[in-house]
Amino acid sequence: MSLNDLYEKPGHLIRRAHQISWALFLDECAEFNITPVQYAAMVAIEERPGVDATRLSSLIAFDRSTIGNVIERLEARHLVVRKPSSEDKRLKLLFLSREGADLLRNVEGAVERVQERLLAPLNQAERKQFMKLLTRLAALNNEVTSAPLRTLEDTKSA
């Protein structure tokens, strides 16, 4: 195998695309001091207030063993609040704080710029096709990861 062979492997290209996406996110969102995973967690908590950490990890397809670190960082910044469940005191439910909701609203333009910059090299037809194929690739390979994406409906029976 040569480097040219490596450079043409889908896995290598996906890893590179992830690096590029991460770098663009950190560039555009630097003033907000937030990572892509923290952003995803906050979006999910805003949409599903009172979600627990296990369901949150499923909703954003993030490893359950490390979601706690993400939540702790958000909580330390007063962006997320954990409250005990009225039904099971051992279970902690997650809510955005006022600061968290404000940050989420304020970061939205930067997040949209990330998406635009990421897809900027493609024309409109290519963007549509790329997103269609990427969505299909992720969906059809969902179960091979240690953190498969689960909808809220999927997690209700878990």
CB 12 within 8 A of CB 6: yes
pLDDT at 154 over 70: no
Find the domain containing 48 and state its range: 3-156
- Residues contacting 28, CB < 8 A, separation 6+: 110, 111, 113, 114, 117
Mean pLDDT, the chain, rounded, equals 93
State how many domains the chain has: 1
CATH assignment of the domain containing 146: 1.10.10.10
Handedness of CA 70, 74, 80, 81 (dihedral sign): positive
What is the per-residue pLDDT across 37-59, written as a single tens digit (0 to 9) for each?
A: 999 999 999 999 999 999 999 99
The pTM (predicted TM-score) of the whole model is 0.89
